[in-house]
Every structure is written in C-alpha cells, then in structure tokens.
Structure 1
C-alpha cells in the first residue's frame, strides 16, 4: 500500500463513550442521592448527537463546536431523566465527560505500534479542545487533530474528509480512514480515501444491532486496533 497517514474516527472506534459517560454520570449523581439507568442516560445523550449535527449539515444553523451541541443535548436529557437542581459548574463538568472518555483496551497499544510507520490523526466530529483533552487523559498518541472543527463540517460531509487530506499535503489514496462505522467508511471511500473497518460490536451494549461487522468491501477489516497494526505490518 502507499498509505502514509491513518485517520481515526474516535467515538466508538478508539474510545468507549457509553461506559465512560455512564460511569462519570454515576460518580457525579449518586453521592447526591440521584439514581438512574446510567447507561440509558448515556444512550439518550448520544441519541441527540446525529439530529443536532444534521441541523448544521442541512444549513439550519451555522457550524458550532460539538461541545455546544453536547451541552444542548445534556439539558434535554437531564429534563428527560427528571434530574434538577445541579449547579451550572457541575453541569458543565458533566458536559466535559466527553473530554475524558476511556480507550478500548487495544486502542493505545495498537496506536503506538501504528505510529512507528504512519502519521496518526483524528477524523472526528469532536472539536479540537475535546480531542486534545481526551488524548492527554487517555494517552492517545495522535500526531495531528483533524476533522469537523478544522473543516467546519460534520462527517459524513465530504468537506470533512477532503480538507483533512489537503491539510496533510497528501493524495487521497495515501490516507486511510479507520472506523467502526460502515457509513463513515463509505463516505470516506467516496472521497477516494483508503478504508479500514475496526469491529466494535458492543459500542452500544450487548444488544447492538448495527455496525457489528463490515457490511461492505473495505481495504482492511479487523477486530481491533492491534489487529489492524498487525495487518499493516507494524
């Protein structure tokens, strides 16, 4: 292959957002006597993600950082779960739970191996501050932060992928998009990028019914970041 850079989807592919958000909500709330289905809380909050971004994609509002969309979604989910009375600093702290997500066990060792031969970067809908803070907290060895905020466009808009390739000074075929989401890879593939599917069949829990496997033809199909490193000769 002529691939020189690997760009990763982050939420779900590299980090376990569901259990991380649930754990942080539980840690904040339960000492206050507030109990809930915290994985359900995380799922409900994540459920606000795509509809909020779609408003931006369709031109219904100007581009705003994901932190802003997360904060708006959190306000709705707190109401849905009838959680009231949290001081604003605590709500803001909870909103930044997305800055503190835990990596899947294979992610960091796999990325370290890949970094020995490839440029590593994000191709995420997360904003730059979110991704930088997450990298520091989780030990993610990115060379560069790319994606929605630099491109001012949310995936799967072509602009998100194409501007990232341009910023690296590479051709489309020299960049491989790595993701646990079939639709993400199809969008990257349509832009001329190479593609690698990384299976995360429990991203949404044990009853996950989508993205459990590669559903299309991609350049590489793997079960983990470590396996991807092995397949790419690292």
Structure 2
C-alpha cells in the first residue's frame, strides 16, 4: 500500500550538516586567527546532539529548543578545545547560526519536486521553526509543510513527535512514511506505528566516518537518494 504522505528528516537526510558546519567553523576561526579543524569540531559538536535532546525528551530538564541546546554544547566544546577566550558572544551566535545555513544534497531538490507531484511531502525535524525556515529557504527546498519537534516540546525519536505530525496531517500513523538516513529516527518512527524509508548518506558524518547503513535498520524501503525514492514510489 502506498503511503498517504511523506515525512522527511532534514539534518543529514536532506542537507549536508558536516560540510556546512565545518566550513563555517573554519572560516570564523580563521577570522579570529585560530587554527581549528572545522571538520573535527563539527563532528564533536554533532556528537552532543542526541545526548542533549535526550535530557529534554526524558524529562531531566525543561523544554529548550535546538538553538539553545546547540549553544550550550558549543560553550562546553570551546572550553574543551581550550578556546573559550578566543570566541566572543557575537562569534558564538554566528557559530550557532551555522546550523541555519547548510548545503542540500545534490539530489534533494529534484527528488522533492518529483515526490511532491504525487504525495504531500512534509519536513519533520528536531530543528526549530526559525532554523528550518532559514535553512530551507536558503537552499530553495520546497515542502508542502514544515513540522518542528518544537510543537511536541520533545525530540525525535520520541513517539509524541511522530504522533503530533500524524495528528496535524489528520492521518493515522500507518499511512505516513518517515524518510531519514538515521537508524535511530527510523526505529522511533517504526515504534510509533509509521512506515519507514532509509535514504543512505555515506558522507553524512564527513570523510572516513561510518554513517548509518540500511542493512542495520529494518525498513519498508531503502534507497540511495531522493530521486531513487521517487522512482520507487512511482513518481
């Protein structure tokens, strides 16, 4: 049975966070006369992503949207790298906003265009609304709607996020297809009753890093790109 609508993850699945963040970190550090491996820093920053959201998801701290979590992780990282005194408040705000400007994968725009001919295609992301609007507009990526985990005051893979999306779309979870390149996201969606599609992004975490693989996650579909997914869904 074909899905009634698609929910599409953003960070890593639709846009290349590692390249985008690494490049901006390197540029801002150079302005300050700091030698910093932007790729290493981006990877270390991303490693704090799931643990910081788990604090909120599991009720160990009050709701905080993703920019706040990114800022807290950034401050700790700069301390850990011994660079706390080299980046002022303005620099830190720019670094957090790096997550608002990330390049799309080459197949993203065309794949989304094809998918939207036949299906409602909705962004479902842990990013806040402001971040998502800035990010998708800058890359000219077109969705039928944007749903932020902000609406559920939790984060994927909490079932409440997927169920909130289903409720907003007035569809039962089993009629939704969650599209992502992360096993943890697809596992959460499947546990919440959604169908799942894995889009493989081997370079998601940068060169010489192991990205999630479709063989490690049970899914309804596994594809190498959005355009391949569109073909598999008859678009």
Report the TM-score when normalising by structure 1: 0.95
Match of 1:204 in 2: 205
Match of 2:164 in 1: 163
Shift of 1:167: 0.5
Shift of 1:210: 4.5
Q: Is the 8 A contact 2:32 2:87 kept in 1?
A: no
| 1:138 to 2:139 alignment | yes
For 2:99 and 2:217, how far apart are their aligned partners in 1?
Answer: 30
Task: Report which stretch shifted further, 60-69 or 211-220.
Answer: 211-220
Match of 1:49 in 2: 49
Q: Is the 8 A contact 1:147 1:161 kept in 2?
A: no
Shift of 1:147: 3.5
For 2:191 and 2:32, how far apart are their aligned partners in 1?
Answer: 49
Match of 2:79 in 1: 79
Secondary structure, counterpart of 1:116 in structure 2: helix
Shift of 1:161: 0.4
Match of 1:103 in 2: 104
Structure 1 segment 1-234 matched on structure 2, within 5 A: 1-83=1-83, 84-234=85-235
The number of residues matched between the two structures is 234
Secondary structure, counterpart of 1:214 in structure 2: helix
Task: Report which stretch shifted further, 1-10 or 129-138.
Answer: 1-10
For 1:143 and 1:12, how far apart are their aligned partners in 2?
Answer: 20
What 5-or-longer segments of structure 2 have no aligned partner? none
Report the TM-score when normalising by structure 2: 0.95
For 2:24 and 2:218, how far apart are their aligned partners in 1?
Answer: 37
For 1:34 and 1:124, how far apart are their aligned partners in 2?
Answer: 33
Q: Is the 8 A contact 1:9 1:123 kept in 2?
A: yes
